[in-house]
Structure 1
């Protein structure tokens, strides 16, 4: 094995009153493609800065081969004091050659003469990419590189990195990006780090093995897992498996919606039923929107007809400037079309989560954001204790008193989701909801969207997220045309691709295609009994959880009877664990039964 170009041995960092992480050994080889994975707040960005050498550790030793150029693409580039994006791009300590920066800018489609203080998030991100890549790095450290990029820019960056001859370490929430590019994984977990010689595509399977081995070891030692670890093992893995089961449900919903789509190339969706009016929440007819006048007039949306039904999950995709935000504003009634009409259901009650995250003032406490400073939050008509609700969104309950300014970007995004999802609504409008989120929170967000009883409109450049959540994709190419496709991002890509002639199978391919093994005739008696009885058990557990949560809603309980309060909290936790296990078992049996049918 070749010697690493950069290493950190026995690395440790103190944060607050304790160690953020300790005893970490990290080695980066000359051609490594490393995914750095960890929950929000685990210290991923801090670790990236330590590897870069821009901050010092409290213990440990960093070594680097002489002449190795380490370049960082920061999550939030600091552009204060720069007049234009060009000034920023050319300001690196080892300033890149202007022609190198310009070459990358041309490929990314960015005008570097834009004033830095008024540039959009996407423009600032492109300028930072120009600055980083033009410096000819040997080791490239990327912190959420796809944030604010459109699909075209993401694909360009993927292509560049696939040809890159150096090493890179990347933090990203974009599963498709990580799966396509990485070959090794660093997993920052509970203050330690693990490395596997697999890319992100094998991460879920690897972590399941690690968790299973830890649980087996704990059982052998007759040691009870700490509460946080137990919750992580049961809660996160259960969510993953439930989300896998929900993909089957999503496919069924897409098939139903596909039956409502008119001939290919048209943008009309109809219900095909007599009660369409009662199910329709947004009805857009021949909608056209233009900006400018005379020769500078541009048609953003052209003759779009679309009927949005209750429980539709609609993803809007396209390059920056193609009209995604305009379409979102048209469909929600924020702006009026120049031609055509948009009719909204009278009962529509929307919750809008935008990219700016305006509610997250740094001086506020977590409790202030969730419950206006109190102990209880009304979640869709049910009172829940702030600490219990925080736990549902993967927070340590003790974080209730923390200031927003001390949270990571991902933690702030997760907290905003927790607040907004507590409000009653029948329409969710999500603008780039996946930015800064860790993988566990993405799983949770997918689960919430899947279970949501209303309609969802979301703008996202996260291809994997779209494929896991939406039933309809609206694709904009910048010409004004809107493709309406039943399915996710990959379905939209396939529809746009030119049709290729069918390939004739070779003799070798024919020989490889062996007949499938015979299927089992039926489930065993025990499996069939569990399949039949588990739904009732799940209902009983849900009722018990609801009953105990109702008891907790008494604001005097914690003061008058803290022992009873604690007993109810533990009972709810135990019931949720049993419910997660029952749901997991039922999903496994349902998938097995489907395979036998």
Structure 2
């Protein structure tokens, strides 16, 4: 390992009356590609600022090789006081070369003469990237660099970082971005910092090993982990295991959808059915839409059925928002028709997060100041519901303005997912979310009974959630592809590249067929019977929660209230164990 060019030893930072972290050791080598991972609120952004030297620590020593230039790309660039984006890019005593800044701006597709005050989130982000890269850093610190970027800009940034000769540390929720670029991982967890010489691709396996070792140590000491830590570990590991089953279910849904879809290039599906599982909820026929001389959508047809998860991808300005508004009836087409089912009742979660007024409390947002919230017709106590969305219940009276961007997004999701609806519209839902919240969001979408429309540039998220991808290229044409982002990307590759890949695959020896594991009699019985048991537990939990929702129950019969509460907890634990057991058996069956 090369000698570090930047180090922090025994780093500590206090936050109010407690330490955010303490005793951290951190070293950055000259060509390190580090992913910085941690939950929202763990202090990742603060740690980047400490590394950059823009804030001071309360303890510890920072050392840096003389002449090393450290540049921080912040989540929210400070553009106040600048007339244009160019004024921001070229500001300061260490302003970059105008020639280099212009070259990067041209490649990124950003007009730096744009007024700073009216620039969009994507334009502000591009300007910040231009400035950071044009400063020729030795160590580049990136805080959510892909937020507000479209697919083309993300691809360009990935290519630039691949060729970058310095070191970088990156915080990102974009799994694909992290997997492609990083070679080492820093994990900020419960006030401690761990380092592994593996990229993000091996992160989940590494954390599973760490958690397993912690549980073994706790058992040897005959002591239990703190309740919240135990809940976190079970929640994270259990959710990842359950998501394996949900991905298998998603593949089945895609196969069913492919069977309904006509020849490639034709968006029309087989005749509509009145069956509740396949009922058409949005029927778009030969839809076109223009603004002035520019055609945004041309001759687009699609039947969206109940239960579909539709992903919209394309460059900024390609027409994703227009197509979304056409499909939801917000705007009328110039020609063609869009018919919506009369029973359609939608919930829209947009990029602006308009409901998150800073002066409101968490309790105000969730329960209008009360103690209970109706979640899809079932009354739940706000403390318990907060836990389901990875919040500490003690935050119930915290002001929204005191929450991080990721926590505000998670709170909005908790509020909107509690409402009855059969159409969910998500516009860039992954911005500001940490990886654990993304797992939770995927889980909630998978379990949602209605139809989902998602606009996102997060490739991994789309691959894990959608059944159909609508790809826009800016010409007005819309590709309709059964599957996720990878399936759309595969289809739009140049034909020659596809032929090379096919020839290479043909030349390679075929992989040996996977060995299938024969289950024992007991395992086979569990594999067959556990799904029914899980359904029964779901029904029991729903029944007991409905009884517990009676606001007078605790006063009238506190013993029954306690019994129901304990019963729900025990049923949830049994259900989690049953799901994990069934997934283990399913993996053996699938080989």
Decide: shared fold, TM above 0.5. yes
Aligned to 2:321: 325
Aligned residue for 1:83, secondary structure, equals coil
Matched, 1:285 2:285: yes
Aligned to 2:20: 20
Aligned to 1:85: 85
Alpha-carbon distance change, 342 to 61 in structure 1, aligned in 2, over 3 angstroms: same
From 392, 399, 409, the counterpart of 1:413: 409
Aligned to 2:33: 33
**Deviation, structure 1 residue 17:** 2.5
Alpha-carbon distance change, 505 to 484 in structure 1, aligned in 2, over 3 angstroms: closer
From 352, 355, 360, the counterpart of 1:356: 352
Aligned residue for 2:503, secondary structure, equals coil
**Deviation, structure 1 residue 15:** 1.6
C-alpha distance in 1, partners of 2:228/2:108? 44
From 295, 308, 324, the counterpart of 1:299: 295
Structure 1 unaligned regions, length at least 5: none
Alpha-carbon distance change, 494 to 555 in structure 1, aligned in 2, over 3 angstroms: same
Aligned to 1:311: 307
Alpha-carbon distance change, 514 to 394 in structure 1, aligned in 2, over 3 angstroms: closer
Alpha-carbon distance change, 580 to 71 in structure 1, aligned in 2, over 3 angstroms: same
Aligned to 2:522: 526
Aligned to 2:433: 437
Aligned residue for 2:214, secondary structure, equals helix
Aligned to 1:554: 550
Alpha-carbon distance change, 300 to 208 in structure 1, aligned in 2, over 3 angstroms: same
- Preserved CA contact (<8 Å) 1:352 1:428: yes
**Deviation, structure 1 residue 401:** 1.0
C-alpha distance in 1, partners of 2:218/2:516? 37
Aligned residue for 1:118, secondary structure, equals coil
- Preserved CA contact (<8 Å) 2:267 2:303: no
**Deviation, structure 1 residue 273:** 5.2
Aligned to 1:57: 57
Aligned residue for 1:479, secondary structure, equals coil
Aligned residue for 1:485, secondary structure, equals strand
TM-score w.r.t. the length of structure 1 is 0.95
C-alpha distance in 1, partners of 2:93/2:388? 45
The root-mean-square deviation of aligned C-alpha atoms, in Å, is 2.0
C-alpha distance in 1, partners of 2:220/2:436? 28
Matched, 1:401 2:406: no
**Deviation, structure 1 residue 406:** 1.0
From 463, 470, 474, the counterpart of 1:474: 470
Matched, 1:500 2:499: yes
Alpha-carbon distance change, 562 to 230 in structure 1, aligned in 2, over 3 angstroms: farther
Matched, 1:157 2:148: no
Matches within 5 A, 1:158-557: 158-271=158-271, 279-292=279-292, 297-497=293-493, 498=495, 499-500=498-499, 502-503=502-503, 509-510=508-509, 515-516=512-513, 518-520=515-517, 522-557=518-553
Aligned residue for 2:499, secondary structure, equals coil
Matched, 1:591 2:583: no
C-alpha distance in 2, partners of 1:277/1:440? 31
Alpha-carbon distance change, 571 to 191 in structure 1, aligned in 2, over 3 angstroms: farther
C-alpha distance in 2, partners of 1:163/1:183? 14
Aligned residue for 2:86, secondary structure, equals helix
- Preserved CA contact (<8 Å) 1:234 1:577: no
- Preserved CA contact (<8 Å) 1:270 1:307: no
- Preserved CA contact (<8 Å) 1:290 1:299: yes
C-alpha distance in 1, partners of 2:17/2:93? 34
C-alpha distance in 2, partners of 1:519/1:56? 57
- Preserved CA contact (<8 Å) 1:92 1:131: no
- Preserved CA contact (<8 Å) 2:250 2:467: yes
- Preserved CA contact (<8 Å) 2:277 2:306: no
C-alpha distance in 2, partners of 1:505/1:131? 42
Residue by residue over 1:1-32, the C-alpha shift from the partner in whole angstroms, topping out at 9 and shown as x without a partner, is 32211111111112232111111111111111
- Preserved CA contact (<8 Å) 1:234 1:580: no
**Structure 1 stretch displaced more, 355-364 or 570-579:** 570-579
Structure 2 unaligned regions, length at least 5: none
**Deviation, structure 1 residue 263:** 2.1
Alpha-carbon distance change, 561 to 366 in structure 1, aligned in 2, over 3 angstroms: farther
TM-score w.r.t. the length of structure 2 is 0.96
**Structure 1 stretch displaced more, 56-65 or 568-577:** 568-577
**Deviation, structure 1 residue 255:** 1.2
Alpha-carbon distance change, 243 to 276 in structure 1, aligned in 2, over 3 angstroms: closer
- Preserved CA contact (<8 Å) 1:267 1:482: no
Aligned residue for 2:232, secondary structure, equals helix
Alpha-carbon distance change, 569 to 189 in structure 1, aligned in 2, over 3 angstroms: farther
**Deviation, structure 1 residue 98:** 1.1
**Deviation, structure 1 residue 573:** 3.2
- Preserved CA contact (<8 Å) 2:350 2:426: yes
Aligned residue for 1:142, secondary structure, equals strand
C-alpha distance in 1, partners of 2:204/2:491? 30
- Preserved CA contact (<8 Å) 1:5 1:65: yes
**Deviation, structure 1 residue 538:** 2.0
**Deviation, structure 1 residue 540:** 3.6
